[in-house]
């Protein structure tokens, strides 16, 4: 069945470090891919998305490229800030359902 596998956490980085969170997927057909962010005590919010192969989603300095050949959608940011500390979820959508990864907790220290 359809599924998402993302990098285990937690991840701790110093401010201004480079961030990569890996995400790979298994899906029949042509899924849309998403990154969501969850701040403490809140629901998930969309960070970025890509709906077809080679699309790049970007928002708030975060980027991810939909790679069909490697079935991946890795999240990157060139310089993280303390305010980026949160849990990040990779997700895919095909048909009527969304499938979420288990989440990667990121802590950025000053």
Partner 1 sequence: NAGVTQTPKFRILKIGQSMTLQCTQDMNHNYMYWYRQDPGMGLKLIYYSVGAGITDKGEVPNGYNVSRSTTEDFPLRLELAAPSQTSVYFCASSWDSTYNEQFFGPGTRLTVL
Residue 21 contacts residue 75 (beta carbons within 8 Å): yes
Q: How far is the CB of 6 from partner 1 (least distance, A)?
A: 9
Nearest distance from residue 24's CB to partner 1, in Å?
14
What are the residues facing 107 on neighbouring strands?
Answer: 12
Q: How far is the CB of 102 from partner 1 (least distance, A)?
A: 4
Among 12, 24, 14, residue whose Cα is nearest residue 70:
24
Using rule CB under 8 A, residue 46 touches partner 1: yes
Nearer to partner 1, 43 or 110 (CB): 43
Token pair belonging to 24 = 């790979």
Specify whether the CB–CB gap between 90 and 7 falls below 8 A. Answer: no
Q: Within 10 A of 88 (CB to CB), how many other CB atoms are there? A: 25
Of 45 and 81, nearer to partner 1 (C-beta) is 45
Q: Does residue 57 belong to the site contacting partner 1 (CB under 8 A)?
A: no
The residue ranges that bind partner 1 (CB under 8 A) are 31-32, 34, 42-46, 49, 51, 89, 93-98, 100-103
């Amino acid at each position: 069945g359809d599924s998402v596998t993302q990098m285990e956490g937690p991840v701790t980085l110093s401010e201004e470090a480079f961030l990569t969170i890996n995400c790979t997927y298994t899906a029949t057909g042509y899924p849309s891919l998403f990154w969501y962010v969850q701040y403490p005590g809140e629901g998930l919010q969309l960070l970025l998305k890509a709906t077809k192969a080679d699309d790049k989603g970007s928002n708030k300095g975060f980027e991810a490229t939909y790679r069909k050949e490697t079935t991946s959608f890795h999240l990157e940011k060139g310089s993280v800030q303390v305010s980026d500390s949160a849990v990040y979820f990779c997700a895919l959508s095909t048909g009527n359902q969304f499938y979420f990864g288990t989440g990667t907790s990121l802590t950025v220290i000053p």
